[in-house]
Each structure stands twice: as structure tokens, then as C-alpha cells.
Structure 1
Amino acid sequence: MPNIHPTALVDQGAHLADDVEVGPFCTVGPDVELAQGVRLVSHVNVTGATAIGARSVVYPFASLGTPPQSVHYKGEKTRLLIGEDCVIREHVTANIGTAGGRGQTVIGPRCMLMVGTHVGHDCLVGESVVFANNATLAGHVSVGDFTFLGGLCAVHQFTRIGAQCMISGLTGVREDVIPFGNVLGQAGKLVGLNVIGMRRRGFTKTQLHEARAVYRDLFFGGGTFDARLERVRAMTGQSDFAAQVVAFIDQNRSRSLCQPSRGVVQED
């Protein structure tokens, strides 16, 4: 039987695994699913069609599954999905999706959302993403695996952030960020690659040198951006870094791409 504190309010329609712990003054709505080992510490609000994966822990005053902050939302049945082994700290908010978007907001497994994080409607967050305090995603944002979002950063709606990126604290992100990108500044610009993260993920010195060469050619080489992209495309058979960057760019060419603050040399 789930361990439910006497002061908690758990709707009879909620689905709780046998070893779920619901602490003091929590509220759990009728369409909520809490998998094995989930623990709501205290004063947690989980509502809407929200599913929380196994062994995830939610700390006081987090509010999950509330309606989207969108004027277009009219009460449609949409969802919030949170993966296993997540840590969701105090005052985190995450909204369900919209019918006009993905229909669901997804937070992958093994993510850590520190104090005050906000995940807007229809976001797609990969696995092992870390949100530092008060990092904020607007609606429809996607974030790749193993990315780090610094404290008080803000990501504009519909922005795509690739895998293994580093978004520095106090940074505003309004353009798509290539995988492994390192972004800094109020109007975020690339300041290089997330070399520390790449080393932690097993990149060798040779692979790092290759990645830097691809980065320099793509953003600082001669010719138009399209010409530089084609040169990088030719490297995809030999460089996993090049392959991931090209695949990311090709996925949506209509979006502006975050570039280095010094700009790039382009030819008409």
C-alpha cells in the first residue's frame, strides 16, 4: 500500500504504485500516475494528466501538471510526462501540453530540476538534463540529452537546444543551439564548445581537435554559411561531431542558428 500522510489529499482516481510515498499536505489529482518508488516530500501539487516515473523525488512547493500558460488553451486533455530517477526541487513548475502543440510536455529520465525551474507547455527535455536555479523554458522548447542550463537563463519559445550543450547563467537563448554548443550573454551567442562536458562524455583529445576544426570551419571559414555547411557535411563520415551538428541543422532549416558573437565571414 502507498504510504500517504493523513494530511495529504489524494483523489481516488489517481494511480499510485504500492511503494509510493506522499508526504504532508500534498495534493494528487484524479488523472495522476505515480510509478514505483516515487516520493512527494511535502506540500507538492500534482494535477492534470501527469505521469511521474519510477524513483523520482519531488520536493516541497513544486507544482506539476497545471494548465499551460497559453491564451489558446481551452481545457483540452493533454499530458505531462516525467521520466524515472528525476530530482525535482522546491518551487519547480511544469505545465501540461496544448492541443495545438505536441499535446504533451515531456521531461526525460534522470533530469535534475533545481529550485524555481519552469518547464513550459509542449517542451521536450531529453535525459540527464540539469536545470540550475530558476532556469526557464518557454513553450515548445526542445533540449537535448546531457545539456546543462545555468541559473536564471531563459529560453525563447520554439527554440531547439542540441545535446550536451552548456547554457551559462543569466543567458537569454532565442536561436537554435548546435549540439555541444557553449552559449553566453543576455542575447546568447556561441562562445565555443562545451569542452568540459565533452570530456566527461568520453571525447578523446583527437576527437576534441576534430570538433574544434569543424566548429571553426562552420562558423569562421570562408564562403557563405551554406557553402561551409556543405564542407562540414563532407566530414560526417569521419566525424561523429560533424554528423550530429549537420543532422541538427538539417532537422529545421527555417530556424535561426545561434552564432559566435564575433559573427562569421560571409560572401554574397
Structure 2
Amino acid sequence: MASWPAKPKSCAPCAAWCEVAAPLIHPKALVDPAAQIDSSVSVGPFAVVGPHVRIGRGTQIGPHCVIDGHTTIGEDNCIFQFASIGAAPQDKKYAGEPTRLEIGNGNTVREFVTINTGTAQDEGVTRLGDDNWIMAYVHIAHDCRIGCHTILANAVQLAGHVHLGDWAFLGGLTGVHQFVRVGAHAMAAFQTRLTQDLPPFVTAGGNPAEAQSINAEGLRRRGYSAERITLIKQMYRLLYRKGLTLEAASQQIDALRGEVAEADADIALMQTFLSTAARGIVR
């Protein structure tokens, strides 16, 4: 184990607890010898790392974190102090099966976040993609699937088996019911209660949630053209403003193919989501 440097150098701003760029494991950290940790990983004081943990290059683990279970963490993640990563799922059916947690690259996980492993009743894995921004007190329950580039604001609570698409944004104190899916580029406002699926591109708010608009500003920031956003607005109007059944709206959305060539992928994304909305959609 590397010793704690006497004269730390400047480090990434997301790691206020660790002002070093050199590889190190603090001497007061408890790291199981069986854990597979890249030599460039920083582990802060009083952190605990279990035997079935693997951590990739450049990841930083803050003080008092607990990383446990069959957990794989990729490269260049920043996990702040007091996070609990890879603990057993909060499911009374769980009987100690070797289920997993897989975290990708470049994620930021703030204070007091809890992320549990999966259960045998699903695929046995909880999974986070890349470049997600997980704020303080967020809970990600067993078997959740989080895409890439999502933002979960303070105290978002995800029940088991929740799926979040890429670029989804959930406002602070939002609660998501088990098995609910949130589509790519969708957005939930502060204190939203999601008990049904939220389609791609849609902004919702309220308790219970109601659709309000499309996430136009988020799409513009990601480089969507005006024509592409206009077509997405057409899909929204068909779903929410024309009084159509879900089946009829889906048929008319499909008829939009070819109007804006670059938006055909957006239509396909919406159609795939709607065709698999087992819980119904936010209306």
C-alpha cells in the first residue's frame, strides 16, 4: 500500500477530501487483500473495501465510504465521503445470492448515496453507465439500470427495478415507484412522484406526475436542431394534446417518419418505449 504523502499536490475539484494526484491508500483505510484495485486508485481514511470489489484506474474513494458486495467500479469515478456502495439489496426475498453492482466510468457519487446490488428475481445486477451525476442522499435500489449522462438531484429515491435512459434528469426529492422506466432525455421536476413510465423527451411534474412539455432546453444543449425539436414537439402533441388513445397516438407518431431524416431515430426511440410501457405512461 502506498503511504499518505506528507505534501499533497493539487487534485480534481470534486475530491476536496483528497488533495493528491499520486496513487495512495490511506493507512487507516480497511481494504481487503482480495480486492482488485488499480494502483492509481485513491482510498481515503476509514473507508472499507470488501473482498469482491474491483476498482478501475483513477477512481477516488472518499473517507468513511463502504464499498462492498460483488461490485465493479470503472475508471475515473469520484465517490465522496460516507457513500455506501454495493450493500445487500433491501429485499426480504434476498437470500445471500452473489448478485452484482456494476458502475461505469466518470461518475460522480456524492455524500450519503446508497447503491445496492441486484436480486435473483431480476438479472441479478444493478448497473450504472458512464458520466452520471448522483447528488447527495440519493438511493438507487436493487436491479436498477441507469444509463449515461443522467443527473439525479439531492434525495432522489429509486425503488427496485427502475430503468433510467441516457440524459434523464430527476429533480430533487423525486420518488420513482418500482419497475417504472424513465425514457432518454426525459425530465422530472422537483418533488415529482413517478408511478408510471415517463416517455423519452417529456418533462413531468407533480404528485402524481403529469406531463407538462418536452425537455426542449436540454435537447438544445445537446445539439438538437430546431427541425428535430419541432418534430419531437409534434410527437408530444399527439400523445398529450389531441385526445388520442395511446394506440392511435403511436400510429400517428409512426407516420411522421421521413419528415425530418435526423429525427427518425427519435421516433424509433419513442415507439420502442411506448410498445413496452407495461405500467402505462404518465398522462
TM range (shorter): over 0.9
**What displacement does 1:222 show?**
5.1
Q: Give the letter for the 2:281 counterpart.
A: L
- In 2, the alpha carbon distance for the partners of 1:171 and 1:68 equals 24
1:31 aligned partner: 52
Which residue does 2:129 correspond to in 1?
108
CA 1:90–1:224: 2 relative to 1, 3 Å? closer
> Deviation at 1:253?
4.2
Specify which of 32, 36, 41 is matched with residue 11 of structure 1: 32
Give me the whole-angstrom Cα distance separating, in 2, the residues matched to 1:225 and 1:48: 42
TM-score by structure 2 length? 0.88
- Quote the offset at 1:229 in angstroms: 1.4
Equivalent residue, structure 1, for 2:9? none
Partner residue of 2:236?
A: 215
Q: For residue 267 of structure 2, what is the aligned residue in structure 1?
A: 242
- 1:92-119 Cα deviation digits (max 9, x unpaired): 0000000111210001111111110110
2:280 aligned with 1:256, yes or no? yes
- d(CA) in 2 for partners of 1:244 and 1:218? 14
Matched, 1:163 2:187: no
Q: Which residue of 1 aligns with 2:19?
A: none
- Segments of 5+ residues of structure 1 without an aligned counterpart are 260-268
Corresponding position: 1:54 with 2:75? yes
Report deviation, 1:237.
3.8
Q: Distance in 2 between matches of 1:237 and 1:155?
A: 35
- Which of 83, 108, 124 is the matching residue for 2:145? 124
1:223, distance to aligned residue in structure 2 (A): 4.4
Identity of aligned residues (%): 39
Post-superposition offset of 1:81: 0.6
- Whether the aligned pair in 2 keeps the contact of 1:235 and 1:243 (CA below 8 Å) is no
**Rounded Cα–Cα distance in structure 2 between residues aligned with 1:223 and 1:89:** 42
Structure 1 counterpart of 2:16: none
- Partners of 1:68 and 1:223 lie apart in 2 by 40
- Between the aligned partners of 1:188 and 1:229, the Cα distance in structure 2 is 21
Indicate which of 236, 251, 254 corresponds to 1:233.
254
* Residues matched between the structures, number: 258
Contact 1:219 1:225 survives alignment (8 Å): no
Query: Are the counterparts in 1 of residues 49 and 68 from structure 2 also a CA contact under 8 Å?
Result: yes
Distance across 2 between alignment mates of 1:134 and 1:140: 18
Kept in 2, the 8 Å contact 1:237–1:243? The answer is no
> How many angstroms apart in 2 are the aligned matches of 1:233 and 1:146?
23
Counterpart of 1:90 in structure 2 is 111
Structural RMSD (CA): 1.3
Could you tell which deviates more after superposition, 3-12 or 219-228?
219-228
2: CA distance, partners of 1:196 / 1:79: 36
State the Cα distance separating 1:211 from its structure 2 match: 1.5
For residue 270 of structure 2, what is the amino acid of its counterpart?
V
Q: TM-score, with normalisation over the residues of structure 1?
A: 0.93
Q: 1:71 to 1:237 in 2, by over 3 A?
A: farther
Residues of 1 paired with 2:250 and 2:109: CA distance?
Answer: 39
Whether the 8 Å CA contact 2:147–2:166 is kept in 1: the answer is: yes
Q: Is the CA contact 2:62–2:82 (under 8 Å) kept in the aligned structure 1?
A: no
Q: Distance in 1 between matches of 2:274 and 2:258?
A: 17
**Equivalent residue letter for 1:226:** E
Give the structure 2 partner of residue 180 of structure 1.
201
The structure-2 alpha-carbon separation of the partners of 1:47 and 1:214, relative to structure 1 and needing over 3 Å to count, comes to: same
Q: Does the 8 Å contact 1:131/1:149 carry over to 2?
A: yes
Moved over 6 A (4+): none
Tell me if the contact between 2:31 and 2:48 (Cα under 8 Å) persists in the aligned partners. Answer: yes
User: 2:91 is paired with a residue of what secondary structure?
Assistant: coil
Q: Is the 1:190–1:258 contact (alpha carbons within 8 Å) kept by the matching residues of 2?
A: yes
